[in-house]
């Protein structure tokens, strides 16, 4: 009886730890995301200034967003951004994702029709009232590649942080360019 109780206690502790760890990582894999991409938004830029903002599913020109089943990195879908005209600049991203402490952000990207135009991952921390802390800053380059490439960044957030917003930013994209994003992960890293 005593051994059984010890095993049950250990099992409960293990399950509680597993649940805590599962909540310590936010994943966007595009398999369960609805086609209208809730919470995702995009901004068309004129130079370095925003000129037009819309939710991602409302853009139809000069670029559009859709879930795409052609060559996802894993699973059945990735997110595709396709350009019907040349664009001076674009930034797009998901809603604020829960995060605090030290975080590791990872995602995979591939592109077509880009030569040397790399993009940038821009990150902003948000407090529990969903207000930005310390502004947005570029944290990693996004390479142009027709094969899936992993991009990652690890850093400590402000102690007040309760979430992060990821922005995928590109300047001067040609007509017919395409960008795919897949398997986004925001994970709390133990200190």
Total number of domains in the chain: 1
What is the distance between the alpha carbons of residues 169 and 118, in angstroms, rounded to a whole number?
9
Q: What is the DSSP letter of 191?
A: -
Estimate to the nearest angstrom the gap between the alpha carbon of 184 and the chain centroid.
5
Per-residue model confidence as pLDDT tens for the chain (191 residues): 443 333 333 333 332 333 333 347 999 989 988 999 999 999 998 766 778 898 998 998 899 999 999 999 989 999 999 999 998 899 999 999 999 999 999 999 999 998 778 999 999 999 999 999 988 999 999 999 999 999 999 999 999 999 999 999 998 899 999 999 999 999 998 87
Do residues 94 and 105 touch, judged by C-beta distance below 8 A?
A: no
Residue 81 belongs to domain with CATH number: 2.60.120.260
| 16 belongs to a structural domain | no
| 154 belongs to a structural domain | yes
| 1 belongs to a structural domain | no
| 118 belongs to a structural domain | yes
Q: Output the pTM of the full model.
A: 0.84
What is the distance between the alpha carbons of residues 76 and 31, in angstroms, rounded to a whole number?
6
Domain enclosing residue 133, as ranges: 26-188
């Amino acid at each position: 009886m005593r051994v059984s109780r010890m095993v049950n206690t250990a099992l409960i502790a293990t399950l509680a730890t597993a649940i805590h760890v599962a909540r310590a990582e936010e994943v966007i894999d595009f398999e369960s995301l609805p086609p209208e991409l809730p919470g995702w938004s995009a901004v068309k830029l004129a130079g370095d200034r925003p000129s037009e903002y819309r939710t991602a599913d409302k853009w139809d020109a000069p670029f559009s967003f859709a879930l795409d089943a052609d060559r996802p990195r894993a699973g059945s879908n990735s997110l595709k951004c396709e350009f019907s005209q040349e664009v001076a600049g674009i930034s797009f991203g998901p809603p604020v994702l829960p995060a605090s402490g030290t975080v590791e952000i990872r995602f995979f990207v591939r592109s077509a029709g880009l030569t040397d135009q790399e993009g940038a991952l821009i990150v902003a921390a948000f407090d529990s009232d969903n207000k930005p802390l310390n502004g947005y800053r570029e944290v990693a380059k996004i390479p142009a590649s027709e094969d899936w490439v992993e991009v990652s960044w690890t850093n400590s957030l402000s102690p007040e942080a309760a979430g992060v917003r990821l922005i995928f930013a590109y300047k001067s994209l040609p007509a017919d360019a395409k960008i795919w994003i897949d398997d986004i992960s925001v994970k709390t890293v133990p200190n």
